[in-house]
């Protein structure tokens, strides 16, 4: 049965002028919930570091996901706790030993009862990588108010070492990653800190736009197409950041215009090619060949800014996303009469090298443009470059 778009996302009576207030009232998590999540996840991290293992040292824990990035949704959200352990001295050792580490964590967590306002439910390890090996252990934390958060615990190899804000990793980090011939994003947990930093530094209003897009993804796409091979939510988050960078770049902007532009680009998914050169670059000789291959894949192309193997949404049902984006664009009063920002869909490299993490550096001379630019025209400061050979 086809659902009404407006009813599905609760926006059927929200006007353009009231959209920002609606997002604040209905999508932002409550202060109490956020504090309780922070406390409980902190308990879990402390337990993993101090009391979980014998003979294994935890080098550090990193909180990722929407809770770590500051984009959590009211009532339901997610957090990743990435656990860097000394028994993984390489990606290969991570693959070989991760299952054993997850078994230890699962056993110890079943014996552990953190003092918090949440009920903790533990599910079996998830198999998410291309080699069909256990990748994470999942917990669901829920309280009596109906709010919940899904926590994935991911043991990982510490490929980055100490991470400094906005500092580019040594290119050798990516050389070692590419040498594994891994599947797309198989080792992305090792780059969680970079993924987190890429989003967390963004303005509060952009994070609200991210919440709105994720809400639309969950309440329209996931509900209406539960069995469809949808692109990952992370792909839409990165597209939203790109839209804001290209269309506004300001702390204060029109939420309706931003949302409208995201929907507009989703309807033109066959033209999308987006990547950033913040952490890796076409100028790095060791990885440039691989990147050019990635950028020549079928569109849409959205590359994880932290992990060049992470090409998001390849082979997924983008036609379904496009159909619902068009319907929402026409049906929702908050966007139906709104003009989108002037954003192009063609490939654009973004360095994001400034002090605020947003477009502060000069544009790389090695960026690509394959010439496949959609109907939305680019801004005047764009540089056009030939397709890769």
Give the closest residue to 286 by CA, choosing from 188, 189, 192, 179. 179
pLDDT tens-digit readout, 121-155 = 776 666 555 556 788 998 887 777 777 788 899 99
**What is the 8-class DSSP label of residue 97?**
H
- Whether the pLDDT of residue 353 is over 90: the answer is no
Class of domain 31-163: alpha beta
Note the pLDDT of residue 380: 29
Q: Can you tell me the mean pLDDT for 185-197?
A: 96
Name the more confident of 1 and 82: 82
Quick check: helix, strand or coil at residue 377?
A: coil
CA distance 255 to 171: 37
Give the closest residue to 141 by CA, choosing from 43, 234, 60, 50. 43
Domain ranges of the chain: 31-163
CA distance 190 to 193: 8
- Whether the pLDDT of residue 56 is over 50: the answer is yes
Name the more confident of 191 and 353: 191
Note the pLDDT of residue 360: 29
CA distance 187 to 193: 13
- Whether the pLDDT of residue 76 is over 90: the answer is no
- How far from chain centre, in Å, is Cα 116? 28
pLDDT tens-digit readout, 215-245 = 999 999 999 999 999 999 999 999 999 999 9
Name the more confident of 379 and 295: 295
Note the pLDDT of residue 23: 96
CA distance 114 to 111: 10
Angle at Cα 76 formed by Cα 243 and Cα 338, nearest 5°? 30
Q: What are the tokens at 57?
A: 């040292």
Confidence of residue 85 (pLDDT cuts 50, 70, 90): very high
Confidence of residue 13 (pLDDT cuts 50, 70, 90): confident
> Within a 10 A sphere around the Cβ of 261, how many other Cβ atoms?
28
Note the pLDDT of residue 125: 61
Q: Can you tell me the mean pLDDT for 101-121?
A: 79
């Amino acid at each position: 049965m086809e659902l009404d778009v407006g009813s599905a996302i609760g926006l059927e009576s929200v006007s353009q002028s009231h959209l920002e207030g609606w997002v604040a009232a209905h999508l932002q998590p409550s202060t109490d919930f956020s504090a309780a999540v922070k406390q409980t996840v902190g308990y879990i991290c402390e337990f993993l570091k101090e009391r979980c293992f014998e003979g294994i040292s935890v080098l550090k824990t990193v909180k990722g996901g929407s809770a770590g990035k500051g984009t959590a949704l009211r009532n339901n959200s997610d957090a990743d706790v990435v656990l860097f352990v000394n028994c993984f001295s390489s990606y290969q050792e991570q693959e070989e030993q991760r299952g054993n580490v997850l078994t230890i964590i699962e056993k110890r967590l079943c014996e552990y009862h953190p003092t918090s306002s949440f009920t903790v439910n533990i599910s079996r390890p998830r198999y998410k990588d291309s080699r069909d090996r256990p990748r994470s252990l999942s917990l669901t934390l829920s309280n009596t108010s109906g709010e919940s958060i899904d926590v994935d615990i991911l043991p990982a190899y510490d490929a980055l070492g100490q991470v400094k804000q906005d500092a580019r990793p040594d290119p050798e980090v990516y050389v070692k990653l590419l040498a594994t011939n891994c599947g797309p994003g198989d080792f992305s947990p090792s780059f969680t800190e970079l993924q987190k930093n890429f989003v967390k530094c963004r303005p509060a209003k952009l994070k609200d736009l991210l919440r709105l897009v994720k809400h639309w993804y969950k309440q329209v796409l996931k509900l209406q197409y539960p069995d469809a091979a949808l692109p990952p939510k992370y792909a839409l988050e990165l597209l939203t950041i790109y839209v804001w960078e290209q269309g506004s770049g300001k702390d204060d902007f029109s939420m309706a215009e931003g949302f409208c532009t995201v929907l507009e680009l989703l309807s033109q998914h066959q033209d999308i090619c987006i990547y950033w050169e913040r952490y890796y670059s076409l100028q790095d000789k060791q990885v440039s060949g691989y990147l050019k291959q990635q950028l020549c894949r079928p569109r849409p192309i959205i590359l994880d800014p932290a992990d060049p193997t992470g090409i998001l949404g390849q082979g997924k049902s983008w036609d379904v996303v496009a159909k619902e984006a068009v319907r929402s664009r026409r049906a929702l009063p908050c966007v139906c009469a709104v003009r989108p920002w002037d954003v192009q869909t063609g490939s654009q490299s973004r360095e994001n090298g400034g002090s605020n993490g947003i477009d502060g550096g000069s544009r790389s001379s090695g960026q690509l443009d394959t010439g496949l630019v959609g109907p939305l025209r680019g801004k005047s400061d764009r540089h056009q470059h030939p397709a890769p050979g």
